[in-house]
């Protein structure tokens, strides 16, 4: 039996967790896949091959607390004895399973794109911010695996409603020492960067906060979201939630438009899933052009408004 942690936003499962469930089903190869959700019962798991959904309930689960969630995973591990625990390779998925590994001494392989059961389990995982794929062997009675976002499609399985079992894990004060104390919603009604079909992204070359106006306009015309590089968030021109890259959001749009972004490895790590990359940069030697499907060498302050004007026309 495989246990999969499902992250959700107020009851809506995260796309990365649905991908983790598809990965878990493949790994289980027809065997049962149980899911664990914390706080409340997420909707829409009927199409994702979950035989039993465990809902961990506790007053403390109103806010994210990584050690507390890991305690819920450990409680199920002890009771259900799964052969593997799978979670999405998101910041939270990796954080929770790292806590589980520390508490149980079990081995953790993060950001896997494939895994074959066995003793040991063999995995292929993403390393170095996406620039290396590593084959590794995981030795241990239970493998803890997180799944690289966008590596496995969240293919639906035949519809069946999972059995739902609720439980209350025992939590200590220490489990709540680190917890989210405030949640600030990003721009109301905006398209989520992680799920946008088009991302218009700006780097240091945009020149400042005000320089993002034309990029916002282009994104709105294409029904997309605005992203940026770390140079931009470090300068305070955009919030961290907009950052794409190794230490930002991983995106997988149909089209990624990189404006004034040099193409550092840590930035490119976040857009490996993009189907088409259009780069606009004044430096013909910019590394971003090495990854681009379409390259425009020139000043973004002229080119972006020209694209906007043409789209409006
Ligand atoms: P620059 O490298 O300064 O590039 C600016 C580009 O704009 C240049 O290529 C220039 O030719 C072009 N330009 C200038 N003016 C114009 C113009 N008028 N028109 C067109 N082009 C123009 N970075 C991330 O983005 N995301 C991450 O998650 C991330 N994580 C990191 C993690 C670690 C541990 C470390 C060490 C670094 C990380 N970085 C990350 C930082 C990364 O290494 C780069 O420093 C950063 O991506 C550079 O941002 P940039 O391309 O906007 O700026």
pTM (2 decimals)? 0.73
Strands 163-167 and 52-56: parallel
pLDDT of 186 above 80 = no
Residue 51 near residue 161, CB atoms below 8 Å: no
Atom of ligand 1 at shortest distance to CA of 288?
9
User: Which residues have a Cβ under 8 Å from the Cβ of 154 and sit 6 or more positions away?
Assistant: 15, 18, 19, 21, 22, 48
pLDDT per position as a tens digit, 266-312: 999 999 889 999 999 999 999 999 999 999 999 999 999 999 999 99
Mean pLDDT estimate for the chain: 95
Q: Sort 301 into a burial class: Cβ within 10 Å, 0-12 / 13-18 / 19+.
A: middle
For residue 84, CA distances in Å to 4, 57, 95, 206 come to 8, 23, 17, 46
What is the distance in A from the centroid of ligand 1 to the CA of 218? 20
State residue 214's pLDDT score.
97
- Measured distance between the N- and C-terminal CA atoms of the chain, rounded to whole angstroms: 57
User: Which residues have a Cβ under 8 Å from the Cβ of 304 and sit 6 or more positions away?
Assistant: 214, 215, 218, 259, 280
What is the distance in A from the centroid of ligand 1 to the CA of 258? 10
Mean pLDDT computed over 126-147: 92
Atom of ligand 1 at shortest distance to CA of 248?
28
Question: Does the CB atom of residue 281 touch ligand 1 within 6 A?
Answer: yes
Q: How far apart are CA 184 and CA 117, in angstroms?
A: 40
What is the distance in A from the centroid of ligand 1 to the CA of 287? 10
Tokens representing 307? 């694209």
Q: With bands split at pLDDT 50, 70 and 90, how would you rate the model's confidence at 189?
A: low
Atom of ligand 1 at shortest distance to CA of 261?
51
* Closest by Cα among 207, 249, 254, 201 to 225: 201
């Amino acid at each position: 039996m495989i246990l999969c942690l499902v992250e959700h936003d107020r009851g809506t499962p995260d796309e990365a967790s649905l991908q983790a469930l598809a990965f878990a089903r493949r790994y289980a190869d027809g065997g049962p896949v149980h899911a664990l959700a914390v706080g409340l019962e997420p909707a829409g798991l009927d199409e994702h091959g979950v035989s039993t959904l465990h809902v961990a309930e506790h007053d403390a689960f109103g806010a994210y607390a990584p050690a507390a969630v890991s305690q819920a995973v450990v409680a199920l591990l002890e009771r259900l004895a799964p052969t593997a625990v799978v979670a999405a390779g998101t910041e939270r998925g990796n954080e929770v399973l790292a806590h589980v590994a520390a508490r149980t001494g079990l081995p953790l392989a993060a950001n896997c794109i494939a895994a074959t059961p066995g003793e040991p389990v063999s995995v292929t995982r993403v390393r170095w911010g996406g620039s290396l794929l590593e084959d590794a062997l995981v030795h241990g009675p239970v493998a803890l695996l997180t799944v690289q976002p966008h590596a496995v499609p969240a293919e639906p399985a035949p519809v069946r409603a999972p059995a739902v079992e609720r439980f209350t894990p025992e939590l200590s004060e220490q489990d709540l020492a680190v917890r989210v104390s405030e949640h600030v919603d990003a721009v109301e009604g905006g398209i989520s960067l992680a799920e946008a079909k088009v991302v218009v992204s700006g780097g240091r070359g945009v020149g400042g906060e005000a320089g993002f106006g034309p990029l916002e306009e282009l994104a709105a015309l294409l029904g997309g979201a605005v992203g940026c590089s770390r140079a931009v968030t470090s300068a305070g021109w955009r919030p961290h939630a907009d950052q794409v890259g190794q230490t930002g959001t991983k995106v997988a749009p149909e089209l990624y438009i990189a404006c004034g972004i040099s193409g550092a490895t840590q930035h490119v790590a976040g857009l490996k899933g993009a189907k088409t990359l259009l780069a606009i940069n004044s430096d013909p030697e910019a590394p971003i052009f090495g990854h681009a499907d379409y390259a425009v060498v020139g000043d973004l302050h002229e080119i972006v408004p020209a694209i906007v004007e043409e789209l409006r026309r």
